[in-house]
């Protein structure tokens, strides 16, 4: 995202939205917006034409909330009891489990949703979590085009299809990174709220300490502790005991036994297991990648690299450090894309950057959309999908590769590390 004679940009008019980018986003936006109303009335989303519920990930949220409302929050973690509630709701059986494995604070969300009829809760959850996601991406891009980019992001389809929490996760990670330069305490609150996804909590403390972002670090810790205390008061000690009791079983099922099948996960851990590697070998690959990503990010955040690139790299790197990574979690990649698009709109895109984004987006339909919507998959299709490189690694490579280019927007030597990003434009 630089302007140099050796690497021509796609549009030299500063601030112009390249027509190819606009047209691609518009087409994807139309697909995402139009599909779900049609699918709902056609019996392909939430409820089938037979009147039976379609098994998707959201059923475990509603079922967990129902158990909370019935006065048994700890039973939400019991796989068999949880499934009985899900079967009663959907009216049909399904293979495997939609298990509840989130920390007790997320039971507040589940219980609120369970107060509503299932369809209203499903659609309402998607709409309510979409709003902060749209606001964050629009703020990062810095212009209304960010709203189109956010809705057009390919993973919007997969996340909405199964009723997952990808919008909220992306909003909290994006909100944290967007607010750090000017509102560090509020940024910490966003990060503390992200504790409902503890697998994303590894890199942020390391990077915040390396960058001396102590107000963000402390406010995140206070927020996380406050949420845990509130959930303890609301749901009792038994809910936390159940969470820690069932967590090793969940890890055993997904990361040791491969109950979700390896090609449905998006991590390097699952890639090694898919191709026949042992669990220790997979962990070795995962920890080497995690350590490498952490090292790169610490060096970046302690350097004079522009803040936009630091933020993009951290958002992408967050996905690389967890072995448990499903397709809906890839919603987080909308955040580094938004930061990189911001730079491109300001300085112009290099000739290869928009085609690279298009290729990355084009690979998404060849990846699994959910561990639940289609339990039967063609083996050749699965083999091809498993060979698709992790998109988070591609995004991190793009961010760090751009960061070292001498022609990229650079920070003033006398400026603090985050001052080059104007967060309120």
72 vs 262, more confident:
72
pLDDT digits (tens, 9 = 90+) for 314-351: 999 999 998 888 888 899 999 999 999 999 998 888 88
pLDDT digits (tens, 9 = 90+) for 204-236: 999 999 999 999 999 999 999 999 999 999 999
Residue 263 CA to residue 279 CA, distance in Å, equals 15
In this predicted structure, which of 91-95, 99-103, 172-176, 406-410 has the lowest mean pLDDT?
Answer: 406-410
Predicted confidence band of residue 422 (pLDDT cuts 50, 70, 90): low
Q: Is 367 helix (H, G, I), strand (E, B) or coil?
A: coil
312 vs 11, more confident:
312
Is 281 a residue whose pLDDT tops 50? yes
Model pLDDT, residue 258: 75
Cβ-Cβ contacts under 8 Å for 411 (sequence gap 6 or more): 304, 305, 306, 307, 417, 419, 420
Predicted confidence band of residue 247 (pLDDT cuts 50, 70, 90): confident
Q: Cα–Cα distances in Å, from 170 out to 14, 63, 155, 271, 410?
A: 28, 24, 11, 24, 27
96 vs 179, more confident:
179
Q: Cα–Cα distances in Å, from 139 out to 26, 114, 134, 135, 184?
A: 19, 32, 8, 6, 16
How many other CB atoms sit within 10 Å of the CB of residue 399?
Answer: 27
Model pLDDT, residue 67: 97
Model pLDDT, residue 201: 79
Model pLDDT, residue 419: 40
Compute the average pLDDT of residues 255-268. Answer: 81
Residue 281 CA to residue 283 CA, distance in Å, equals 5
Is 14 a residue whose pLDDT tops 80? no
Predicted confidence band of residue 364 (pLDDT cuts 50, 70, 90): low
- Residue 295 φ/ψ, nearest 5 degrees: -65, -45
For residues 45 and 158, is the Cβ–Cβ distance under 8 A? no
Q: Cα–Cα distances in Å, from 335 out to 8, 61, 80, 134, 392?
A: 25, 25, 37, 11, 11
Instruction: Report which listed range, 121-135, 371-385, 392-406, is most confident.
Output: 121-135
Is 412 a residue whose pLDDT tops 90? no
Q: What value does the mean pLDDT of the chain take?
A: 84
Model pLDDT, residue 165: 95
How many other CB atoms sit within 10 Å of the CB of residue 224?
Answer: 22
Is 9 a residue whose pLDDT tops 90? no
Is 402 a residue whose pLDDT tops 70? no
Is 26 a residue whose pLDDT tops 70? yes
pLDDT digits (tens, 9 = 90+) for 34-47: 999 999 999 999 99
328 - beta bridge partners?
none
How many other CB atoms sit within 10 Å of the CB of residue 330?
Answer: 24
Only one residue has tokens 């518009």, namely: 26
pLDDT digits (tens, 9 = 90+) for 100-142: 999 999 999 999 999 999 999 999 999 999 999 999 999 999 9
Predicted confidence band of residue 13 (pLDDT cuts 50, 70, 90): low
Compute the average pLDDT of residues 298-310. Answer: 95
Q: Which two tokens stand for residue 194?
A: 């992200």
Is 404 a residue whose pLDDT tops 70? no
Ramachandran category for residue 258: left, alpha or beta (phi over 0 → left; psi -120 to 50 → alpha): left
Model pLDDT, residue 307: 95
262 vs 223, more confident:
223
């Amino acid at each position: 995202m630089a302007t140099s004679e050796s690497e021509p940009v796609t549009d030299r008019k500063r601030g112009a939205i390249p027509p190819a980018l606009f047209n691609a986003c518009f087409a994807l936006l139309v697909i995402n917006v139009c599909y779900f109303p049609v699918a709902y009335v056609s019996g392909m989303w939430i409820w089938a034409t037979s009147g039976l519920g379609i098994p998707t990930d959201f059923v475990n949220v509603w079922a967990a909330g129902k158990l909370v409302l019935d006065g048994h929050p700890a039973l939400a973690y019991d796989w068999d009891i949880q499934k009985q509630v899900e079967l009663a709701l959907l009216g049909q059986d399904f293979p495997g489990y939609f298990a509840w494995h989130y920390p007790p604070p997320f039971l507040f969300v589940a219980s609120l949703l369970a107060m509503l009829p299932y369809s209203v809760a499903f659609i309402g959850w998607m709409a309510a979590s979409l709003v902060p996601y749209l606001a964050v991406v629009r703020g990062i891009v810095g212009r209304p085009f960010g709203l189109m980019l956010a809705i057009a992001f390919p993973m919007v389809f997969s996340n909405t299809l199964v009723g997952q929490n990808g919008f909220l996760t992306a909003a909290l990670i994006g909100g944290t990174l967007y607010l750090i330069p000017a509102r560090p305490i509020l940024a910490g609150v966003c990060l503390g709220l992200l504790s409902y996804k503890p697998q994303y909590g590894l890199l942020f403390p390391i990077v915040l300490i390396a960058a001396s972002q102590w107000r963000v670090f402390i406010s995140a810790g206070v927020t996380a502790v406050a949420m845990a205390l509130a959930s303890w008061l609301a749901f009792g000690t038994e809910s936390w005991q159940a969470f820690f009791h069932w967590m090793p079983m969940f890890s055993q099922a997904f990361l040791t036994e491969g109950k979700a099948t390896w090609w449905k996960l998006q991590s390097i851990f699952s890639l090694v297991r898919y191709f026949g590697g042992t669990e220790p070998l997979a962990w070795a690959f995962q920890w080497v990648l995690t350590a490498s990503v952490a090292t790169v990010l610490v060096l970046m955040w302690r350097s004079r690299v522009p803040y936009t690139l630091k933020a993009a790299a951290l958002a992408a790197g967050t996905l690389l450090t967890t072995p448990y990574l499903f397709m809906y979690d890839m919603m987080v990649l909308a955040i580094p894309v938004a930061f990189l698009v911001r730079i491109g709109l300001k300085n112009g895109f290099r000739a290869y950057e928009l085609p690279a984004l298009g290729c990355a987006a084009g690979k998404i339909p060849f990846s699994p959309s959910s561990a639940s919507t289609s339990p039967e998959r063609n083996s050749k299709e699965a083999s091809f999908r498993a060979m698709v490189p992790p998109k988070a690694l591609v995004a991190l490579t793009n961010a760090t590769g751009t960061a070292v280019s001498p022609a990229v927007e650079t920070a003033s030597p006398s400026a603090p590390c985050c001052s080059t990003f104007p967060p309120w434009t």
